[in-house]
Structure 1
């Protein structure tokens, strides 16, 4: 079987390989899971994806499993809790962005029925068009963050090499 260049020699139990084979580029139906991926991409900025993959479960615990309503209601006490939690990235701008973005997603859910519907409403777009939309709507959304979020959730191409067998799996709708 053919794999993407960056992971073809990784063992099956490697977290990069598991992410590649089961998550990267696959469509996501749940708004909370979309929000989770969005927060992961924001927190990865300036850091390694390896660090985020290693901390993903502690992130889930710290951010109430990425329940959008709960994160949107975070107050100063919750912000301080997160800024002192070694299981997450303790960056106030990133923490505040997660809370702000959760609030924005709640507004989008009211208007479009879901975060996913909002994305679908704008799809397809170029990376540049997506970046403008995200910057207008959310915080901490540079070009690379938006690109990786949309590639990792299947809205932009490029998550897998063209000959990677996982791309076939995605294109055939198998998860």
Structure 2
């Protein structure tokens, strides 16, 4: 992601995400769910559009609490599809709602979403993609790769000479273990 390390610092939209979130390890299921949802929403669009809509998405999906989103029904789907502040794509919205239910199921099998990720770590990208496609909806190679890089499960979020990379290494992301 060397281009991101060149263009994001100082950028009004990308800087904060690049400097404080992208590539750092995540252990909170709500944050993991948000990151997966954002990657799904980004498919076919620019990351800048997705980041600009992030606050509205956070509100629309009630803080990305999987337990709340998993209970969404027809009225919630209609509300989301009518919300001009978010990315309104029925397939993406349906996938996010379905994936919330899957994440809730992981609480029984692995204690949490992070527990499931940790139980399957380490895998290479191809194996992660296969596992995600089997487990979740709307999760192709690019979505899975970016999700795992953004949450510290795969390397490659930053160049080695990017100042953020040393902070990430200090945080000991799963790909370093």
- Structure 2 match to 1:139: 137
- Structure 1 match to 2:167: 169
- 1:10 CA displacement: 5.2
The answer to whether the 8 A contact 2:9-2:18 is kept is: no
Q: Could you state the TM-score of these two structures normalised by the residue count of structure 2? A: 0.93
The answer to whether the 8 A contact 1:25-1:151 is kept is: yes
- Structure 1 match to 2:68: 70
Give the whole-Å Cα distance in 2 for the aligned partners of 1:8 and 1:111: 41
Unaligned runs of 5+ in 2: 173-177
**Is structure 2 residue 56 aligned with structure 1 residue 84?**
no
- Structure 1 match to 2:103: 105
Runs of 4+ in 1 over 4 A off after TM superposition: none
- 1:6 CA displacement: 3.2
- Structure 2 match to 1:54: 52
Give the whole-Å Cα distance in 2 for the aligned partners of 1:121 and 1:135: 17
Give the whole-Å Cα distance in 2 for the aligned partners of 1:11 and 1:151: 18
Q: Could you state the TM-score of these two structures normalised by the residue count of structure 1? A: 0.94
Q: 1:128 aligns with which of 126, 129, 140?
A: 126
- Structure 2 match to 1:14: 12
Unaligned runs of 5+ in 1: none
The answer to whether the 8 A contact 1:108-1:118 is kept is: yes
How many residues align? The count is: 172
Give the whole-Å Cα distance in 1 for the aligned partners of 2:124 and 2:59: 34
Q: 1:160 aligns with which of 139, 158, 161?
A: 158
Aligned-partner SS, 2:153: coil
Give the whole-Å Cα distance in 1 for the aligned partners of 2:9 and 2:131: 38
The answer to whether the 8 A contact 1:147-1:156 is kept is: yes
